[in-house]
Amino acid sequence: MVVFQSPRQYNDGMGKLNRLLLRKTNHTGSDVRLASGEIIGGKVFPRQSVASAWWLWQDIFSKRWEFKAHINVLEMRAILLGVKHQIEKLGFAEKRIVQLSDSFVCISIISKGRTSSDQLSRVLRIINCLLLAHGLQLVMGHVDSSDNPTDKGSRL
């Protein structure tokens, strides 16, 4: 797994883009229909993807999984690593943060805040604890697998 971050994400233009995306969400864990700006519930299909080209990406770190697990658990752990990076390396607190994933399962679980899966709920609890402790609100955006810049390292 490789985690990417936009080096321009925090300049004025990228900051405006992130604020625009974040303004189009609400507290109920809904997604955003980006083309129209319409708020849609988490059960609405099909969801709309963001374009990874909206940001400039560079390698920040990579991690080889030390154990085998279901793909949804690994996807959720990747999101956890992204949240940890934003807290530990970027010092984020009391903010809304955006994270992209190509996993509809993980996006739905995080938006909803719960799951019946024991394996996924373990990771979700850690994510929720970090978000609560640091005053963060995680907003998930879907990116198509073919457009996901973090998947390139795992496809080698």
At 68, is the secondary structure helix, strand, or coil?
A: coil
Residue whose structure tokens are 């321009």: 8
Distance (Å, whole) CA 152 – CA 156: 7
Minimal CA–CA distance to 136: which of 102, 86, 89? 86
Q: Which parts of the chain are beta strand (E)?
A: 2-5, 31-33, 38-40, 58-62, 96-101, 137-142
Residue whose structure tokens are 């903010």: 95
Contacts of 138 (CB under 8 A, 6+ apart): 83, 96, 97, 99, 110, 127, 131
Are 148 and 102 a contacting pair, CB within 8 Å? Answer: yes
* Helix 104-112, helix 118-134: angle, nearest 10: 60
20-77 per-position pLDDT tens digit: 666 655 445 444 444 444 545 545 555 567 888 887 777 787 788 888 999 999 999 9
What percent of the chain is predicted at pLDDT more than 90? 31
Domain boundaries, the chain: 2-155
What percent of the chain is predicted at pLDDT more than 70? 67
The pTM (predicted TM-score) of the whole model is 0.72
What is the pLDDT averaged over residues 72-94? 93
